[in-house]
Structure 1
């Protein structure tokens, strides 16, 4: 059976904390996203519990009358529990060494395994068409799992929002970017 998983990065948000809401522009984007997805067949919606992710998909979920399932494994990757002024260089290094781990954070491989677990659960389910809403860091690691060329520069190029379609059939996976900023 073929399965489609729509991987959506949240719309523009006011910050990075779990409770950061969408900006005014982000709410407009969420409605545009809902319209963009209007004709997409969807069996399930699974979202990071972070407010910005839920607010991103809420207009679509309400329009389609589909419950949003919260999934803790979709939260954003924690780079470190301490602030680094050179955090961008530190993040880039984690794309080069997937086991590199900073104080209080998780390695790229640890974060990647979380989101791969969600995808594997979806593949084992009866749902044929699933939306997953998450964050740029963890989404980029998922895409890197399927395409080793997806790295730091591609992470930087992700938009808010952004949509990738993972099409699974047998043991074959195709990745296609659907959203152009």
Structure 2
């Protein structure tokens, strides 16, 4: 019996310093409707999300379509890079990927964030075995989760992720059997 976890990187959001309450942009809202349409064809059983608004908004359309509430799980929130803004975001992300145990002040190392995400995935697999589950999440934690199960997923994978993006992880028990990208056909503007 396989369990299929659809990790959904949130749609485009306009930057605000408030990580938790940052909403989707108008383009993100439009793309979230496409996410719901695509996931509806995949036959979701339930919806889980990071507690961050942009992740919730990205999967709430599929939740409305299948009628369960969204279960918010802290383990799927984005990795905290640092306690405050960093001067060069790309360089900061590169540094934490190069040094697994390094963390900026107040932030999480790759090792810490990966362990948090993988622990949440394992709990979901045990609790909802055999289901198809949409999980609203974020780019960096998505890449870190995948890298826990398959070391081929790293910073280059993270760099090519789109907003939104969907990856279906198929498991037998706790063993990852297959990863496939679900095409969305959203136009970059």
Report the TM-score, using the length of structure 1 for normalisation: 0.93
Question: Deviation above 3 Å: which 4+ runs of structure 1?
Answer: none
RMSD: 1.5
Q: Which residue of 2 aligns with 1:173?
A: 177
Q: Which residue of 2 aligns with 1:15?
A: 15
What are the residue-to-residue correspondences of 1:22-37 with 2, within 5 Å?
22-37=24-39
Q: Which residue of 1 aligns with 2:113?
A: 111
1: CA distance, partners of 2:179 / 2:150: 8
2: CA distance, partners of 1:56 / 1:139: 15
Deviation at 1:150, TM superposition (A): 1.5
Number of positions where the alignment pairs a residue of Structure 1 with one of Structure 2: 181
Query: What is the aligned counterpart of 1:50 among 40, 46, 52?
Result: 52
Tell me, yes or no, if the aligned pair for 2:47 and 2:134 is still in contact at 8 Å.
yes
Note the residue ranges of structure 1 that are not aligned, 5 or more in a row: none
Query: What is the aligned counterpart of 1:39 among 34, 41, 66?
Result: 41
Report the TM-score, using the length of structure 2 for normalisation: 0.89
**Aligned: 1:162 with 2:165:** yes
Deviation at 1:147, TM superposition (A): 2.2
1: CA distance, partners of 2:176 / 2:153: 18
What are the residue-to-residue correspondences of 1:126-141 with 2, within 5 Å?
126-127=128-129, 128-141=131-144
Query: What is the aligned counterpart of 1:144 among 136, 144, 147?
Result: 147
